[in-house]
């Protein structure tokens, strides 16, 4: 069930405009970045 939700977020929601914006707090943006990446590890260069 949780895996389905992550897949939906990765495949659908993360591709919509406004999923990550400059209006979000930095922690919220990073959280969404990891969701969009399928909760896979990212190094500092990939985060930037």
Per residue in 9-19, pLDDT (tens digit) is: 888 888 899 99
Domains identified in the chain, total number: 1
Cβ contacts of 37 within 8 Å, gap of 6 or more:
10
Name the pLDDT band for 28 (thresholds 50, 70, 90). Answer: very high
Quick check: 2 pLDDT over 80?
Answer: no
- Note down the domain range covering 30: 2-47
Greatest Cα pair distance in the chain = 31
């Amino acid at each position: 069930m949780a895996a389905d939700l992550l897949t939906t977020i990765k495949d659908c929601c993360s591709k919509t405009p406004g999923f990550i914006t400059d209006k979000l707090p930095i922690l919220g943006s990073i959280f969404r970045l990891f969701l969009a990446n399928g909760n896979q590890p990212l190094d500092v260069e990939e985060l930037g």
